[in-house]
A and B are shown apart, each in its own frame.
Chain A
Amino acid sequence: MSDMDEMDDGSGIVKKFMFLNRKAPHGTVYALEGLEVVLITAAFDQDVSMVFTDDGVYQLLKGIDTKGIEVKDFSKTYRALEGYDIEKLYVDQKSMDARGLTEEDLIVDVTVLSVDEMANLMAEQDVVISF
């Protein structure tokens, strides 16, 4: 972490960053490489929210086992986010319902938002990066 702590850009500006995850893990690289950006952003002391909608909610499932497909299991990393002061994790209620999922199925504690709440959260962001 010591290297990353020095990555503050020195401007003193704090913006609202939202990382919007709409894709399932493993079928494409976006979930993994998106997570890498979030971890780096943590070092810049910005106001970070991580949002999971549509198939993005599948990233947070408990019980992921990637041994059989021989790729890295990064799902545990979501649990480590708290250690990076990334504490605002939101999931979309409608996306959960449409996939038969509840909070009990997820590997981390999240805040579940309605579509309207999610829309408002999105609208107040300075920077939205979607993967």
Chain B
Amino acid sequence: MQFGILINEGPYTHQASDSAFLFARTAIEKGHTVPRVFFYHDGVNNSNRLATPPQDDRNISARWSKLAAEHGVDLVVCVAAAQRRGITDDVLAPGFRISGLGQLVEMGIQYDRLVTFGD
């Protein structure tokens, strides 16, 4: 089954991105696919490669990048939300790209399920 995931909150302040990551990783482990994750609202901040959490903490953007590299997950950051928050191509972690809200709507149309994680 194909799962689309929508993340509406940024890293570290809310649990949303952590819950979404564990859901995505588990879905893939169980043989499902996660073709795309869409980052909206403050969720766009998950894409920032400049974040440097302490060594003993999880690196949220890096683990999304790793999941994308290993399983072909398309990590899409909403352009309008990103521009509001100063997220540009220059700061994107590997595997993330900036695109329009149409990419979110497409997930709803094309995939079997759309699961939202937010506040």
A touches B (Cβ under 8 A) = yes
Find out whether the CB atom of A9 lies under 8 angstroms from the CB atom of B108: no
A interface, over-half SS: mixed
Chain A positions within 8 Å of B101 at CB level: 36-37, 40
Q: What interface size band does chain B fall in?
A: 10 to 19
Number of A-B contacts (CB under 8 A): 54
Chain B residues contacting A15 (CB-CB under 8 Å) are 108-109
List A residues 57-101 near B (Cβ within 8 Å): none
CB-based contact B114/A127 at 8 Å = yes
Secondary structure class of chain B's binding surface, majority of residues: helix
Contact between chains at A33 and B105 (CB < 8 Å): no
Residue in chain A with minimal CB distance to B106: A9
A125-B73 Cα distance, complex, nearest whole Å: 26
Shortest B8–chain A CB gap in Å is 8
Q: Which of A14-56 contact B (CB under 8 A)?
A: 15, 17, 29-30, 33, 36-37, 40-41, 43-44, 46
- Which of B100, B104, B110, B114 sits near A11, CB closer than 8 Å? B110
The residues in B between 95 and 119 inclusive whose CB is less than 8 angstroms from any CB of A are 100-102, 104-106, 108-110, 114, 116, 118
Interface: A115 (CB within 8 A): no
Q: Given known contacts A33-B81, A129-B114, A130-B116, is B102 in contact with A43 (CB within 8 Å)?
A: yes
Q: A-side interface residues toward B, CB under 8 Å? A: 7, 9, 11, 13, 15, 17, 29-30, 33, 36-37, 40-41, 43-44, 46, 126-127, 129-131
